[in-house]
């Protein structure tokens, strides 16, 4: 089951986010304080970020985060599918596809022009899921400049 995050999900989100950032699905870990900051932003408003909990038999087994941007190129709002994490033992049960259906439904209902995501090139299982769901490479190379250095 996929549902929007609630205030009562804080501890489950913090635990799952820490697992995700220790996994090979991301390029590097982040300070633990950023997980709490993200949760607070999700609870604050839908302006920039939305959070989803993935559950099986009433247990939190994963989460998904989406962020809102606006793109001149896309001609409107873009829903950035920022993170999807499912605990190892719950993968392959359709929760990823269910999360994408929920995010796409939200995007369509709210007039978004594009869905966008990024993926580690070595994460072939995720890439296969995304391609099966109709996603295609954008052809840009991502670059960043940190304005807020990570605290360790």
Q: Which residue ranges make up each domain of the chain? A: 2-132
Residue 49: CA count within 13 A, CB half-sphere? 14
Number of continuous H segments (helices) and E segments (strands) in the chain: 4, 5
At 47 the pLDDT is 87
What is the pLDDT averaged over residues 60-72? 96
The architecture that CATH gives domain 2-132 is 3-Layer(aba) Sandwich (3.40)
Q: Give the Cβ contact number of residue 88 at 10 Å.
A: 9
Whether the CB-CB separation of 55 and 1 falls below 8 Å is answered with yes
**What pTM was computed for the model?**
0.89
Mean pLDDT calculated for residue range 78-104: 95
Q: Give the whole-number percent of the chain exceeding pLDDT 70.
A: 97
């Amino acid at each position: 089951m996929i549902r929007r995050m609630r205030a009562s999900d804080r501890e489950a989100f913090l635990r799952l986010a820490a697992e995700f950032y220790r996994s090979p699905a991301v390029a590097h870990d982040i300070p633990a304080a950023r997980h709490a900051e993200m949760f607070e932003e999700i609870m604050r408003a839908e302006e920039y970020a939305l959070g989803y909990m993935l559950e099986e038999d009433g247990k939190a087994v994963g989460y998904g985060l989406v962020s809102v941007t606006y793109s001149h190129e896309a001609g409107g709002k873009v829903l950035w599918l920022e993170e999807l994490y499912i605990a190892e033992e719950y993968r392959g049960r359709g929760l990823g596809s269910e999360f994408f259906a929920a995010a796409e439904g939200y995007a369509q209902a709210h007039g978004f022009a594009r869905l966008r995501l990024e993926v580690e090139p070595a994460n072939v299982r995720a890439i296969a899921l995304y391609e099966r769901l109709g996603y295609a490479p954008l052809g840009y190379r991502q670059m960043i400049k940190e304005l807020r250095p990570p605290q360790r």
